[in-house]
Chains A and B, each alone.
Chain A
Amino acid sequence: MCDFDSDSIIDDIIRKGQKIADEVEVVYGTGKFIHASLKGDEIGEAGGSESWVFGIRIIDGGRIGSSTTNNPLKWEECLDAAKAGSKFADAQEWGGLPDASGTTGTPESRFDENLVLDSAYLTANIKELLNGASEYNVDVAGGGASASSSFYKLTNSNGLVYESVRTRTGASLETISGTSTGYESDSSCFADRIDPYDIGKKAAYLAAHSVDAGEIDSGSYDVILSPIAAAQLIGGIVVPALSGKNVKAGRSYFAGKLGEKWLDGSFSLRDDPFHGQGSKARDAEGVPARVLDLIKDGVVNTFCYDLKTAYKYGEQSTGSAVRSDGSPSIGFHNLYFEGDRQVIFDEKALYIHDVIGAHTANGITGDFSVETSNATWREGGNDGDAVRAAMLSGNIFEMLKSIAGVSKESRELGNVIMPSVRFNNIRVVGK
């Protein structure tokens, strides 16, 4: 029911926009999405949507304005709003939008032509979730399955046109046994890369294993953060500190630390735009994306810049622009955490599957204090007694100065690829 000509509207926006501004950029996104949701162990709702959005950005005399609309009939109003916004923005140094010149690599495909967006696919996945969960004596509280396909087109007045397509599928399950809960999920661009049965089984195991969990005394312990727990703390604190905008504005822990070895010598953090669910040849402003060694062997190697921040502070864009709500911002494409790969599950440690409250950490200093979820003692590669409740406190930057090791396998969590990470002598508060 998408009955408008998006190419014609984009052309009109560029043409009219060039009459009122130096440069114009149009982002058009459209997609289809279907889902089915479990309420308890039955499908309670199923639905779908077809959506689209036009995002317009203009640059006029170094003043930037932007606007979005999901009503194609309102593109002129949207363009006027972008122009109006630009009048209030302070002028900044501006070196131009990118042209169509070459990219630096070839991204892997994110489109599964075999993924069919119909309800039968979702109900089959949900059946497998429930089959997997039946391996343990737990109740299913919720969950579901989803699938989507999307098209993205970036056009600017310098002649750049960049298009990409993507599919995505996901499944999740929430379980409970008494007051012990478990949750697992997975997503991929390809249908054959998620295993709903395994997701259901793992969610059920988490709830089952934590029944009759014991207490832990307050003290310092060797701790292993699962990929989920590590991604929450590192993604929420360390990644924003690598944003060039935060560094230049004086609100990053890494400000003034470029080129210096501040972290564990085994630790590297890499953004690879060509391999993973966030793969793309160009960033959200059309700048060719490239591999960035953000932290290399413990050394803060580079910060991330989009065009606006780079021009403002005399830097080069690193092709790190991403878009979530229309206007570009600084982000990453596929984030890889690397460390000293070894067997980290042999010596006894507290293994923390997930944490509650990672978003409440101090993003400036790195101090955090979170509640653990599905924590368990682990030794000799096997789970021991579960721990009912414990609060984990520390400073993530200090912890990353001394990493005891990372697991040999990494887990793909969307566009974050993370191993389990072991730290020694971490403060734990028991109940």
Chain B
Amino acid sequence: MEEPRYYDIRHVCGVSTHIDIENGKIDSAGSSFSDSAILRVLGRKGWGIVTIENFSSRTKKEINGFISEAMRFASVTEEEIVLGDAPSGMLKVPKIDGNPVDISLEEKCSLLQSIEAAARIDGIISTRAGYSEGSSTVCFTDSCGNEYSYPVCRSGYGINAIAGRNGDMQAARESERTIAGLNMYHKEHKGLEAAERALKLLDAAPAKGGKMNAVLDQELAGVFAHEAVGHASEGDLVKEGISVLKGRIGERIGDSSLSVVDDPTLHEFGFMPLDAEGVMPKRTEIIKSGVLNAYLHNRQTLALIGDGDAGHARAESDAVPQVRMSNTYIENGDSSYDEIIAECRSGVLLKGSRGGQVDPGRGVFQFNAEYGYVIENGELAGMIRDVSLSGDILQTMHNIVLCGDDLRLNQGYCGKGGQSVPVTDGSPHILLKNAVVGGQGV
């Protein structure tokens, strides 16, 4: 039978743990186990893929059988795939202080209970707290002789509080995720913050929609960097012609104060010591001083498109690698927060994020803030709720006129092609002129 031009196997074996607390009661707690691998072979033209359950127990003979099966799948492909040269290698994995795996479920339950209890204050009618932890060993091997293995443990908590008054309800949420060890110690204030904000939202006015100046806080501006810039710079979307950033390398697409980076080497929630193709990850400057500088690539899109770096392939444990972001952020500018609010003069300050979505081919994005404030005469006025932002990516980039000096990172998950991977987004405060703000207030 025909031999593959190349193959690789990515095996992930691990344990996931969760705790759910609802209105003071532990609703559920426990662990589950997974052990699976994804095998890719490069046939005469394209990829053949086989997912292998219970990989740890597989014999060499069985694995050869899976390679043959994958080659049969590859035989129906038409796209002639060439892999670009990219240095294989693995970064050092940082040591974890207080590995969650070594801490008892009892202690984790107790810590989460403290955070949840702090949110149960007068006026709060419902609380819900959750802890999740995924601890696994990732092993990568390929037909070039590369072999790598590393442990990873991602964990985090979230607390939701719902305030109620005379039939009205409003919700607020706080969450933190990390790769640096258990992060639930002394976090009762996060429960209280969620509760107090939910209570304040009961008195907040619905946002008025329309075109206006908008200041985005670090979290929401981070979502903008991720949704509007990051996705459009992914090499697979550029290759398939569904990115408005296609063909614009070297073009000025934003103010000279704007630089956007994706850095998988940062020891943040999106960190990876090697990418899902065994390539050594590297920091990529997507936008440098307002000019589109580089795309994010896997080996295939690097070979086809160029103008960027491989090392950005990521995947869920038993899924096909895709070009993905990791830790994406707008770099610090030189404006202070006070200067940005004053320069806005009239508009809105948008804070927090309920998530976002982008159509990179059309160049349109949408995301929703958790809450905000009206800005009048360069000062904060009343609180507003249910406020969103949408716009045209390229037009909006030119409308970012000030970048703050207070970069902050936030953790989350990003969905693409049916897969969800851990990411960090970040930014300083930014000022956006003529933003399209959505809300149902009149």
Residues of chain A at the chain B interface (Cβ within 8 Å) = 1, 34, 36, 39-40, 42-52, 64-74, 77-78, 81-82, 84-86, 88-90, 92, 119-120, 122-123, 139, 141-142, 174, 176, 179-181, 218, 249-251, 253, 256, 326-327, 356-357, 359-365, 367-371, 373, 389, 391-395, 427, 429, 431
CB A224 to nearest CB in B, in angstroms, measures 19
Please tell me which one of the listed residues B27, B33, B75, B162 contacts residue A89 in the complex, with CB atoms under 8 A apart: B27
| Contact of B28 with A48 in the complex, beta carbons under 8 Å | no
The answer to whether B337 has its CB under 8 Å from any CB of chain A is no
| Contact of B27 with A181 in the complex, beta carbons under 8 Å | no
Who on chain A is nearest to B358 by CB?
A356
14 sampled A-B residue pairs with Cβ under 8 A: A39-B79, A44-B47, A48-B49, A49-B51, A65-B30, A69-B35, A70-B33, A85-B30, A90-B27, A360-B368, A365-B169, A391-B366, A394-B440, A429-B210
Question: Which of B81-119 touch A at CB < 8 Å?
Answer: 81, 105-106, 109
| Contact of B33 with A68 in the complex, beta carbons under 8 Å | yes
Please tell me which one of the listed residues A46, A67, A176, A356 contacts residue B77 in the complex, with CB atoms under 8 A apart: A46
How far is B241's CA from A45's CA once the two chains are assembled, in angstroms?
18
| Contact of B357 with A359 in the complex, beta carbons under 8 Å | yes
Most buried by B among A52, A180, A367: A367
Most buried by B among A86, A256, A357, A395: A357
Who on chain B is nearest to A82 by CB?
B30
| Contact of A81 with B387 in the complex, beta carbons under 8 Å | no
| Contact of A88 with B436 in the complex, beta carbons under 8 Å | no
Chain A residues with CB under 8 Å of B126's CB are 249-251
| Contact of B361 with A357 in the complex, beta carbons under 8 Å | no
| Contact of A45 with B366 in the complex, beta carbons under 8 Å | no
Chain B residues with CB under 8 Å of A70's CB are 33-36, 53-54
Give the interface size class of chain B.
Answer: 35 or more
Please tell me which one of the listed residues A68, A250, A364 contacts residue B32 in the complex, with CB atoms under 8 A apart: A68
Chain A residues with CB under 8 Å of B363's CB are 179
How far is B23's CA from A249's CA once the two chains are assembled, in angstroms?
7
| Contact of A356 with B31 in the complex, beta carbons under 8 Å | no
Chain A residues with CB under 8 Å of B168's CB are 365
> Which listed segment binds A: B64-72, B177-185, B250-258, B324-332?
B64-72
Chain A residues with CB under 8 Å of B385's CB are 362, 367
**What would 10 more interface pairs be, CB under 8 Å, given A44-B81, A365-B170?**
A40-B79, A42-B78, A43-B79, A47-B70, A66-B30, A81-B32, A88-B26, A90-B26, A356-B357, A360-B354
The answer to whether B46 has its CB under 8 Å from any CB of chain A is yes
How far is B29's CA from A84's CA once the two chains are assembled, in angstroms?
9
CB B273 to nearest CB in A, in angstroms, measures 25
CB A138 to nearest CB in B, in angstroms, measures 11
Report B136-178 CB contacts with A as 1/0, cut-off 8 Å: 0000000000000000000000000010100111110000000
The answer to whether B381 has its CB under 8 Å from any CB of chain A is no
| Contact of A67 with B386 in the complex, beta carbons under 8 Å | no
Report B17-31 CB contacts with A as 1/0, cut-off 8 Å: 001001101111111
Chain B residues with CB under 8 Å of A371's CB are 357, 364-366, 390
| Contact of B72 with A119 in the complex, beta carbons under 8 Å | yes
Report B201-218 CB contacts with A as 1/0, cut-off 8 Å: 000001001110000000
CB A370 to nearest CB in B, in angstroms, measures 6
Please tell me which one of the listed residues B35, B77, B361, B392 contacts residue A389 in the complex, with CB atoms under 8 A apart: B392
CB B298 to nearest CB in A, in angstroms, measures 12
| Contact of A429 with B209 in the complex, beta carbons under 8 Å | yes
The answer to whether B56 has its CB under 8 Å from any CB of chain A is yes
How far is B336's CA from A219's CA once the two chains are assembled, in angstroms?
36
Chain A residues with CB under 8 Å of B75's CB are 119
